[in-house]
Structure 1
Amino acid sequence: MIITSSSTSVAANSTIILLDKCTTLSQVRQIHSYMIKTNLVTTHSLSVAKLISGFSESSNPSQAVMLYAHMLFCVHDLKGIEFSVPSVIKACGRSRAFREAHQILAHVLKTRLWYDPFVTNSVVRMWLELGEIELARKVFDRMPVRDLISWNSLITGYLRDVFMTMKVKDVVTWTTMISACVLNHRPRKGLDLFREMLRIGIRPDAPSIVSVLSAIADLGFVEEGKWIHTYISANKIDRSGSSFIGSALVNMYAKCGQIEHAYHVFRSISHLKNIGDWNSMISGFAIHGLGHEAIKLFLEMEMAELKPDDITFLGLLSACNHGGLTNEGQFYFQTMQVKYNMVPKIQHYGCIIDLLGRAGHLQEALRITYHMPLEPDVLIWKAILSASMKHNKVETARIAALRAIELDPEDSSCYVLLSNMYAKVGMWDEVGKVRTMMKKRGVRKIPGCSSIFVNGKVHEFLIGKAMDLGDNENVHCMIEEMVSKLKLEGYEPDLNQVLLDIEEDDEKESQLALHSEKMALAFGLMNIPHGIPIHIVKNLRICCDCHSFMQMVSKIYKRRIVVRDQNRFHHFENGSCSCNDHW
C-alpha cells in the first residue's frame, strides 16, 4: 500500500480524535504504539503534541521529554511544534530533568520559538521550578517579549529563593510569601504554604489570615474557608483588632457561593462596620445577581450615615447589571455624580455601558462610549462586542472587536469573541482569517476549564477530559446517561453554540456534550451525596447550552447546582436559575 500525503493527513486527524477520547494513560500508550508501527509518529507533529501533553500531566512526566526528543529526531512535518514545547518544558520541571532542560533551552534559542512569549515564559518557570534562579534571570533578560506573567514569575521566584534560604522564618515572612502567591494567581500554592506554616507551629496573625482567605476565595471552594473561620474563632484571633478579617470572610463566603453565610458573617461583625465591610457585602450580592438586596443594603448604609466610595458604587452598578435592573442602574450612576459629587471612573462607565448593552439599549451604550470624558478601554469595547453579538449587530460587533484588539493585541478573548461572532452568522472564511491572525501574533485561546471539590481534592476538567486522565471513562458514561434522560424530557442541544465548521449534527452534539462544566457536573453527580449542593468553578463564561443543560439536570436529578463562571454565580434548582437568563 502506498501512503499518500492525503491519507497520512486523514490518519493523523483520526488519531487526534482518538487521543481526545482517551480516558486512561494506558490508552494513550496504546495509541503511541500504533503511531510508531504505522510510522505516523515520524510524519505529523500535531498528533505527537497531543501525546506529549498527556504524558506531561501523568505520574511519569519524563515520558513526555523522551517523546519530544524522538519527535525532533524523526518527525518530518514540525508544523505546530509550538504547541508541544510548553508541555515538555513543564515535564522537565516536574521530572527534575536538568540535562534535557538545557537541551530544550538550546533548541528554543535557535528557532522561532524564542519569539513566542508563551514558550519563553514556560522556560522561565521551568528554571524556577528547578531552583535555577540565575538561569531563569538570564532567560528573562534576553526575552524578546516580556509581559506581566514574565515579571510576576521572576519576582515570585526570587521571593521563593530568599524564602528557602532563610534559617529563621517568622509569621511576617510566611505572610509575605502567601500574599505573593495570591497576587501572582497561585492561590493553591498560597494555601499550601499556610498549611505548612501551621504544621511547623507558626501562629498566623490577621494579615496572614486575610491572605489565605483571599486564596480560598480565588479557588472558590468553601470547605477550607469554613475551617479557617473555625480556626479564627477557636484561637480567638481578634476580629475587632483587624476589621479586614470580617471583610475577608464576607468576600470568601460570597465568592465560594455561600452568600447566606456571607450575610450572616456581615451581620455578626461586632465592631463598628467600616466601608470595607459594606462594600464586600454589596459586591457579594452583585456576583450572585441579587440586585434588589444590594440596593436595600446600600440604602441601609446611607441611613447609617456612612459615606459611600467609588468601590461602593462599582459594586452597586455591578449588582444592577447582573440583576438586569436597567432603570435602577441608570439612577445610581446619576446619584454618584449628583448627590455625592463623585467623578465616575472607567470601571463605572464599563458597568453602565454593559448594563445598557445587555438590555438592548445598544445605541445609548454607544453614545456614552463615544462621549464619555475618558478613552474607552478594552473592557468597554468587549462589552459593546458582547451586546452586539447578543442582538445580532454584526458590523458594530466587528468594529468593537477590532478596537479591543488594537488596545490589547495579546488578549485572546478579543479574537475569540470576534471569531465566535463570525461563526454565529456562518462567516467561516472570516473565522479562518481571525485564527490566522492569532497564529501569526502568537496569541493562544484560553481553554475552558472547570473544577470541582470532591473528597478533599480539586478535580479539574478540560473539554473532553479530566486533567489526571483517570476519571474520563465513567464521566463519559454519566454524560451519555444525562443526555439520554434530558432528551426524553425535551432537551434539544443548542447546536448554535458549536463555533466550529462542522457539518454533521451528531459531531456538534458530541462537542457540546464534552464541555468542561458538563464533565464536572457528571463527576459531581457520581461522587457527591444526594442533598449536598454541587459546586463548580469555570474560568470562562458558561455557554447557553450548558446553562439550559444545568437547569434541566437540577430538575430531573433533583439536585442543587452552583456554578461560578468568569462573571457571576448561577444557582440552579428545580429547573430554574437565579440569573433569570440574564448573564
Structure 2
Amino acid sequence: MPERDLVSCNAMIDGYGKSGKCELAEQVFRSMNKKDVVTWTSMVSAYVFNHRPKEALGLFREILNVGIRPDAPALVSVLSAIADLGFVDEGKWVHTYISTNKIKLSSGFIASALIDMYAKCGHIENAYHVFKQVSHYKNVGDWNCMISGLSMHGLGHQALEVFLDMKTKEIKPDEITFLGLLNACSHEGLVEEGKFCFKLMQEKYKIIPTIQHYGCIIDLLGRGGQLDDAVEIVQNMPMEADVIVWKAILSACVQNGDFAVGESAALKAIELAPEDSSCYILLSNIYAKVGRWDDVRKVRLMMKRRGVRKIPGSSSILVNGKVHEFLVGKEMDVKCNVEVLSKIEEVVSRLKLEGYKPDLTQVLLDIEEENKESSLTLHSEKMALAFGLINTSNGAPIHIVKNLRVCCDCHSFIKLVSRVYNCRVVVRDQNRFHCFENGSCSCKDFW
C-alpha cells in the first residue's frame, strides 16, 4: 500500500475532526512522520471542534516546543480552547506571543478570538481594550464578539451603546449582531429594549428572524415575567418550535411557578429531544416544587429506562497553573477532600452568624430537612470556592467555571462570602458571568 502523502493526511485529520471522529484524527496525526503547520493546526482544530479544549491547549504547547510557528487559524483555535476552559493566564500568554511576533490582529479572526477569549474568561475590560484597537477596521465580526461578550457579563446597556456606535460608523449589523443584542437585553431584563431590537432587525435591516432569534425573544419575555406574551409568540411563529424554544418557556414556568404551561412545555421538549437530560430535570423540578413526588419518581424512572443520565454539576478553578475540578459524587483526593469539607464547614458556620440561611427549596428531592442542608453544602461551586479560599492569597480574585446554572442558594452563599471574607469571586455559569464583591453580584440578582 503506498504511503499516504502529507496533503491527504491533513485532509483526513480535518475531515475526521469535523465529523466528530476525533480519535481517528488522532490516529492519523500520531502515525505521521512528517508534519507541517497545517497538520498541527488541523489537529488543534479537531480537538476544539470536539469539545476537548485541554488537549487542544496541550497540543499547541507541543507546536511551540517543536519549533513550528503557528499560523492564524492555529492561534484562533487555541484561543477558542482557552475561552472554553475559562482561565485567562494562558490566553494572556498567547496574546503576548501574538504581540511579540508582530502578528497583526487583523490576520484571520485573531482579534475576534481575543475579544471572545477575554470575555469568556471574565476579563471584559481586556476584551474591550482589544476591541478598541481594531474597531476602525469595521469588521462586523469584531463588533459582534464585543456585543456578545457584554451580553455574557449582563451589561445590556453597554451592548446597546456598542450597537449605536455601529450605526454611527455605518457598519451594517447582521443576524448574529441581533442574537447578541437580544441575549444582552434578556440577561439584564431590558424587555422593552429587546422588543425594539427584534422589531428593528425586521423592519429596518430586513433580517428574517431565525428560530434562534425567536428563542431569544421568548426567553427575554419569559424572564421578564411576560409569559403569556412569550407563549403567544410560540403559537404565531412561522416555523415549528424547537427544543430550545420549549426549554425557554419551561424555564420561565419554573421561575414563575406556572405548573400547567410548564408541564406541557416539558413534555413537548422531551418529545423533540428525548436524549436531553435537562428537559426531564426541569419537568421533575416543576413536580417537586408542588410536592408531586410520585411524578418526580416517574420522571426519574423514565430517564433510567431510556438511558438518559443527568449531567452532574461540576465546577473548576485554576490554582498555581493547575485546573482543579469538583464534581458531586466524584471521589476527590483524600487530603483535598478533608481540607475542602473542613473549610466548607467553617465558612457555613461563619456565614450563619451573619444571617445565612440555606435555601432548602433549592433541593428538589424528597428527603429530610437535615439531609437537604447537607446536600446544598456539597454543591460543586461551594467546594471550588472553599478550595480557592484555602489556596488563594488574600485579596486575589477567585475565578470559578461551572457547567450548569448557579442555584439561588449558592448565589446567596457566594455573595455573603465575598463580603465576610473580603474577596472578589467571579463565577461563569452556563448562562453568564457573576462578579461577586462586597456582598453584591454584578447580575443584580437577575439571571
TM-score normalised per structure 1? 0.73
Aligned to 1:240: 106
Deviation at 1:240, TM superposition (A): 3.0
Aligned partners of 2:151 and 2:187 also within 8 Å: yes
Deviation at 1:359, TM superposition (A): 1.0
Counterpart mapping for 1:207-222 below 5 A: 207-222=73-88
Aligned to 1:180: 46
Aligned partners of 2:202 and 2:209 also within 8 Å: yes
Secondary structure of residue in 1 paired with 2:404 = coil
Q: Alpha carbons of 1:330 and 1:466: their partners in 2 closer, same or farther (altered >3 Å)?
A: farther
Aligned to 1:162: 28
Aligned to 1:506: 370
Deviation at 1:379, TM superposition (A): 0.8
Secondary structure of residue in 2 paired with 1:531 = coil
Aligned partners of 1:562 and 1:572 also within 8 Å: yes
- Give deviations 1:346-395, integer Å, cap 9, x for gaps: 11100110010111110000000011101111011011011111111111
Aligned to 2:196: 331
Counterpart mapping for 1:143-542 below 5 A: 155-242=21-108, 244-269=109-134, 272-463=137-328, 467-503=332-368, 505-542=369-406
Secondary structure of residue in 1 paired with 2:417 = helix
Deviation at 1:271, TM superposition (A): 5.9
Aligned partners of 1:462 and 1:516 also within 8 Å: yes
TM-score normalised per structure 2? 0.95
Q: For 2:32 and 2:277, locate their aligned partners in 1 and report how far apart those are by CA, in whole Å.
A: 40
Q: For 2:334 and 2:152, locate their aligned partners in 1 and report how far apart those are by CA, in whole Å.
A: 33
Secondary structure of residue in 1 paired with 2:21 = helix
- Give deviations 1:403-424, integer Å, cap 9, x for gaps: 0000000000000111111111
Q: For 2:204 and 2:18, locate their aligned partners in 1 and report how far apart those are by CA, in whole Å.
A: 41
Q: Alpha carbons of 1:252 and 1:469: their partners in 2 closer, same or farther (altered >3 Å)?
A: farther
Q: For 2:23 and 2:349, locate their aligned partners in 1 and report how far apart those are by CA, in whole Å.
A: 49
**Residue type at the aligned position of 1:561:** V
Q: For 2:174 and 2:334, locate their aligned partners in 1 and report how far apart those are by CA, in whole Å.
A: 48
Q: For 1:299 and 1:255, locate their aligned partners in 2 and report how far apart those are by CA, in whole Å.
A: 23
Unaligned residue ranges in structure 1 (runs of 5+): 1-149
Aligned to 1:20: none
Secondary structure of residue in 1 paired with 2:137 = coil
Q: For 2:320 and 2:241, locate their aligned partners in 1 and report how far apart those are by CA, in whole Å.
A: 45
- Give deviations 1:115-172, integer Å, cap 9, x for gaps: xxxxxxxxxxxxxxxxxxxxxxxxxxxxxxxxxxx99796111111111111111111
Secondary structure of residue in 1 paired with 2:117 = helix
Deviation at 1:472, TM superposition (A): 0.9
What's the C-alpha RMSD, in Å, of the aligned pairs? Answer: 1.4
Q: For 1:247 and 1:153, locate their aligned partners in 2 and report how far apart those are by CA, in whole Å.
A: 25
Aligned to 1:89: none
Q: For 1:354 and 1:166, locate their aligned partners in 2 and report how far apart those are by CA, in whole Å.
A: 48
Q: For 1:465 and 1:522, locate their aligned partners in 2 and report how far apart those are by CA, in whole Å.
A: 17
- Give deviations 1:525-575, integer Å, cap 9, x for gaps: 111112211000000000000000010000100111000000110011111
**Residue type at the aligned position of 1:559:** C
Aligned to 1:93: none
Unaligned residue ranges in structure 2 (runs of 5+): 1-15
2:410 equivalent to 1:546:
yes
Q: Alpha carbons of 1:201 and 1:270: their partners in 2 closer, same or farther (altered >3 Å)?
A: farther
**Residue type at the aligned position of 2:279:** C
Aligned partners of 2:17 and 2:43 also within 8 Å: no
**Residue type at the aligned position of 2:271:** E
Q: Alpha carbons of 1:348 and 1:441: their partners in 2 closer, same or farther (altered >3 Å)?
A: same
Q: Which has the larger radius of gyration?
A: 1
Aligned partners of 1:460 and 1:466 also within 8 Å: no
Secondary structure of residue in 1 paired with 2:316 = strand
**Residue type at the aligned position of 1:219:** L
Q: For 1:202 and 1:468, locate their aligned partners in 2 and report how far apart those are by CA, in whole Å.
A: 38
Percent identity of the aligned residues? 66
Deviation at 1:464, TM superposition (A): 5.8
**Residue type at the aligned position of 2:58:** D
Q: Which moved more, 1:277-286 or 1:416-425?
A: 416-425
**Residue type at the aligned position of 1:343:** I
Aligned partners of 1:283 and 1:316 also within 8 Å: yes
Q: Alpha carbons of 1:470 and 1:192: their partners in 2 closer, same or farther (altered >3 Å)?
A: farther
